[in-house]
Amino acid sequence: MTKRGFSIAVLLAILLLGVLAFFQPRQVTLAQGGTPTDDEVNRIARQLYCPVCENTPLDVCPTEACRQWRELIRQMLAEGKSEAEIKQYFVEYYGARVLSEPPRQGFNWIVYVLPPLMILAGVVLLFRTLRSWVKPAAVDEQEVEQLSADPLVRKLEEDLRRREK
């Protein structure tokens, strides 16, 4: 395998691993009865954003409204609702904007597709640029020979050599 082929293979392998890691389903852990702990509540709360504050995850939001929402999560966990069901309830009530990760549908796909595409384009550009720096452009030997045969060029080269002496 050539050096270039090896670089492309490594690049593709990294990209493939990134894509697989990105789309891997999340592990869902359910409350097993009793009163759900703060950790269990916060594990879900940190995946949701306060619907009335600017960019504040629910687990660290200090407002009264957020406290109510965390209690609601606790109540739903105690009722045996799954993480997906709780998130679905929040989406239904407060809109998809409460999710820390927008659902993969419709216009939202831009968020998932555009950044990897731009990174890929950046990698390709960087690769091409670096290659042009490291490897000098090939010299057309036939053209060099033709130029050397030109009496004017030969005279010019002789003059230059004489000057250097």
Partner 1 sequence: MTEHPASASRPGVPLWAQIMIWSGLLGLLIMIGIGLARAQQGTIQRGDRVPGNLTLSLYQGYEYNGQSQVRFDALRGKVVLVNFWASWCKPCEQEAAELQQAWESYQSSGQVVFLGVDYVDTEPEARIYLKKFNITFPNGPDLGTRLAQRFRIKGVPETYILDRNGVVQYVKVGPFQSAQEIQMIIDQILLRP
Rounded Cα distance between 21 and 100, Å, is: 18
Rounded Cα distance between 119 and 108, Å, is: 18
Q: Check residue 57 for interaction with partner 1 (CB under 8 A).
A: no
* Nearer CB in complex with partner 1: 37/88: 88
Q: Check residue 143 for interaction with partner 1 (CB under 8 A).
A: yes
- Tokens 């490594």 identify what position? 10
- Cα–Cα distances (Å) from 104 to 23, 108, 156, in that order, read 11, 6, 68
What angle, rounded to 10 degrees, do the helices at 83-94 and 38-45 form? 50
CB 72 → partner 1: shortest distance, Å?
5
CB 81 → partner 1: shortest distance, Å?
14
Rounded Cα distance between 107 and 129, Å, is: 33
Q: Check residue 111 for interaction with partner 1 (CB under 8 A).
A: no
* Nearer CB in complex with partner 1: 17/113: 113
- Binding residues (CB under 8 A) for partner 1: these are 51-52, 63-65, 68-69, 71-72, 75, 91-97, 114, 118, 121, 124-125, 128, 131-132, 136-140, 143, 147
